[in-house]
């Protein structure tokens, strides 16, 4: 039961110039530019609204966040912890600004309506998919391959903006770790990562993930991780 | 009339800041964190959120709120400070929260809270200013959407001299006209004052001089904040 995450990742080698900006900083000046995500236009200046990497692609200027809480989007696979059990579903903490709701109807297997705590109760960990984002929270579903309750193993948390690095291009990085440590790994786009294997493998996988997070901007990251996994055998 | 205040106790120029220390990301667990120090006044700040706000009656359905907590650690002053909130720390928590709230886009996540924790590790006057500077950096680092930065500085009037970044010894100046201490917080781009507290007395035209001194000093501080946010570890105290 392993969830594959197929977000397309922009590689660092691309020839788009990115620079770190802070709120209120002028990114570019000129009439030709249009403000994109997290930027605003004041006269001729395009100004940053957020800490992150500014990118000018064509005429549009936008900021790619590198820190901050997870902002749920439809289609994201997330891992969350059950916060509360209600009569028709579960409240799940996915680490964002709002907790999300998993309705009973979105659970594909049979569950006794009179005792839904039997399937998952407070403190249990689930992987789920976001199918709707609304004001004040997101709705989750388990109706997809590889979703459901996660039992055993360990749960770690990383910065959600580093998730694409941990997964790598088409899952290359995560598969590398999985193969080397013989561990099941599920990565939630909210930055929660669930690992299950023997304790040695889990430990090694966790360290490898922390290495990726720490050195996420370094070049030749795959080689470094390979070396780390190989060297510890 | 000759002035009784001719030289600053620590031999700084009248418009000179103390050696600055600034760093971000000092608390890995927090969404954003920073350290800021004016010489011997050291403040750290941690930001958590936006996250769901409990108790629910505190929620605002139209906007998020900033919950700011300022506290001095027991060992931050020579005589042990009793930990926990007191009248002074509650007031500073409120003004610091308000100084920051005006630049943050709170309407983005209604019904949530952004927790800002400010702790004073060591105090030698201007603690609220150091705290606000650290908190602004921590907020930015936490990826909170904000229009611009906030920088804060204290401006004093010692007898008839306007001085930047007041220390304890100057705060207690009693000769001549005595000491006046004004804490300013100013936004980085539009230069608006988001917080101002005046302790003492000052003439109207001298006050305008103080505002100008604050503007100049805040620009310098903003420069340190930018550098620290871009990953630099600034430490001017060891030389």
Q: What is the pLDDT of residues A192-219, one digit of tens each?
A: 999 999 999 999 999 999 999 988 877 8
| CATH number assigned to the domain comprising residue A91 | 2.40.50.140
**d(C-alpha A219, C-alpha A67), whole Å:** 20
Among A49-63, B1-15, B192-206, the least confident range: B1-15
- Contacts of residue B122, defined as CB under 8 A and 6 or more positions apart, other chains included, come to B37, B40, B41, B42, B76
The pLDDT, as a whole number, for residue A15 is 55
Whether residue A7 lies inside any domain: the answer is no
Boundaries of domain holding A108: 77-150
Over residues A121-132, the mean pLDDT reads 94
Whether residue A173 lies inside any domain: the answer is yes
Nearest by CB to residue A99, choosing from B52, B140, B149, is B52
Whether residue A11 lies inside any domain: the answer is no
Closest Cα in chain A to B136: A23
Interface test with A, best of B47, B135, B143, B191 (most A CBs within 10 A): B143
pLDDT(B96) > 70: yes
Range ranked top by mean pLDDT from A2-11, A160-169, B184-193: B184-193
Give me the percent of chain A exceeding a pLDDT of 70: 92
Q: In chain A, where does DSSP find H-type helix?
A: 163-167, 172-181, 199-214, 221-231
Closest Cα in chain A to B59: A136
The pLDDT, as a whole number, for residue A58 is 86
**d(C-alpha B85, C-alpha B7), whole Å:** 36
pLDDT(B95) > 50: yes
Q: With contact defined as beta carbons under 8 Å apart, do A19 and A54 qualify?
A: yes
The pLDDT, as a whole number, for residue B1 is 59
Torsion of CA A232, A163, B26, A96, to 10 degrees: -140
Over residues B130-158, the mean pLDDT reads 96
pLDDT(B69) > 70: yes
Q: Given pLDDT bands bounded at 50, 70 and 90, which one contains residue A116?
A: confident
Whether residue A10 lies inside any domain: the answer is no
B87 touches chain A (CB under 8 A): no
The verdict on A161 and A143 lying in the same domain is no
Q: With contact defined as beta carbons under 8 Å apart, do B139 and B47 qualify?
A: yes
**d(C-alpha B129, C-alpha B238), whole Å:** 22
**d(C-alpha A228, C-alpha A78), whole Å:** 27
pLDDT(A4) > 50: no
Mean pLDDT of chain B: 94
Whether residue A6 lies inside any domain: the answer is no
Among A2-11, A47-56, A155-164, B51-60, the least confident range: A2-11
Q: With contact defined as beta carbons under 8 Å apart, do B237 and B17 qualify?
A: no
The backbone torsions φ and ψ at residue B29, rounded to the nearest 5 degrees and listed phi first, read: -70, -25
Over residues A161-181, the mean pLDDT reads 91
Above 0.85 for ipTM, yes or no? yes
Domain spans in chain B, listed from the N-terminal domain onward: 20-234
Which pair of structure tokens corresponds to residue B43? Answer: 């403040």
- Does B196 or B1 have the greater pLDDT score? B196
The minimum CA-CA distance between B230 and chain A, rounded to whole Å, is 7
Q: With contact defined as beta carbons under 8 Å apart, do B117 and B167 qualify?
A: no
Q: What is the DSSP letter of B146?
A: B
Chain A partners of B226 at a C-beta cutoff of 8 Å?
Answer: 22, 25
Q: How many domains does chain A have?
A: 3
Q: Could you tell me which CATH number the domain at B20-234 has? A: 3.30.230.70
The verdict on A140 and A209 lying in the same domain is no
């Amino acid at each position: 039961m392993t969830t594959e995450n197929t977000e397309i990742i922009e590689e660092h080698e691309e020839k788009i110039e990115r620079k770190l900006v802070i709120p209120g900083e002028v990114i570019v000046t000129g009439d030709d530019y249009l403000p994109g995500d997290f930027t605003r236009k004041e006269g001729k200046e395009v100004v940053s609204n957020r800490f992150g990497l500014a990118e000018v692609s064509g005429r549009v200027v936008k900021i790619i966040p590198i820190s901050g809480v997870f902002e749920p989007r439809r289609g994201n696979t997330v891992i969350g912890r059950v916060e509360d059990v209600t009569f028709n579903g579960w409240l799940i903490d996915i680490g964002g600004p709002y907790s999300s709701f998993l309705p009973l109807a979105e659970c594909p297997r049979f569950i006794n309506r009179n005792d839904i705590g039997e399937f998952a109760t407070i403190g249990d960990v689930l992987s789920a998919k976001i199918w709707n984002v609304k004001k004040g929270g997101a709705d989750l579903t388990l109706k997809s391959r590889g979703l459901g309750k996660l039992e055993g193993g360990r749960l770690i948390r990383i910065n959600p903006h580093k998730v694409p690095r941990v997964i790598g291009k088409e899952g290359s990085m995560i598969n590398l770790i999985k193969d080397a440590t013989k561990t099941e790994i599920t990565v939630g786009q909210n930055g929660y990562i669930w690992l299950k294997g023997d304790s040695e493998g889990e430990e090694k996988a966790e360290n490898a993930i922390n290495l990726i997070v720490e050195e996420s901007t370094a070049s030749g990251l795959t080689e470094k991780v390979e070396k780390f996994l190989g060297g510890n055998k | 009339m000759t002035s009784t205040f001719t030289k600053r106790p620590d031999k700084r120029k009248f418009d000179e800041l103390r050696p600055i220390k600034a760093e971000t990301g000092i608390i890995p667990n927090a969404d954003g964190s920073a350290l800021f120090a004016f010489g011997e006044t050291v403040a750290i700040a941690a930001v958590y959120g936006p996250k769901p706000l409990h108790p629910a009656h505190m929620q605002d359905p139209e906007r998020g709120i900033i919950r700011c907590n300022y506290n001095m650690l027991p060992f931050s002053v020579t005589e042990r400070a009793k930990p926990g909130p007191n009248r002074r720390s509650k007031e500073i928590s409120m003004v610091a929260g308000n100084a920051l709230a005006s630049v943050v886009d709170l309407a983005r996540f209604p019904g949530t809270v952004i927790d800002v924790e400010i702790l004073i590790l060591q105090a030698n006057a201007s603690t609220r200013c150091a705290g606000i500077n650290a908190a602004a950096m921590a907020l930015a680092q936490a990826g909170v959407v904000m229009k611009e930065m906030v920088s804060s500085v204290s401006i004093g009037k010692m007898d008839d001299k306007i001085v930047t970044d007041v220390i304890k010894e100057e705060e207690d100046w009693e000769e001549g006209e005595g000491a006046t201490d004004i804490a300013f917080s100013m936004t980085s781009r539009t230069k608006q004052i988001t917080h101002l507290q005046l302790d003492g007395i000052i003439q109207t035209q001298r006050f305008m001089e103080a505002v100008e001194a604050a503007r100049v000093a805040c620009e310098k501080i903003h420069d340190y904040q930018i550098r620290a946010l871009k990953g630099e570890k600034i430490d001017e105290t060891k030389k």
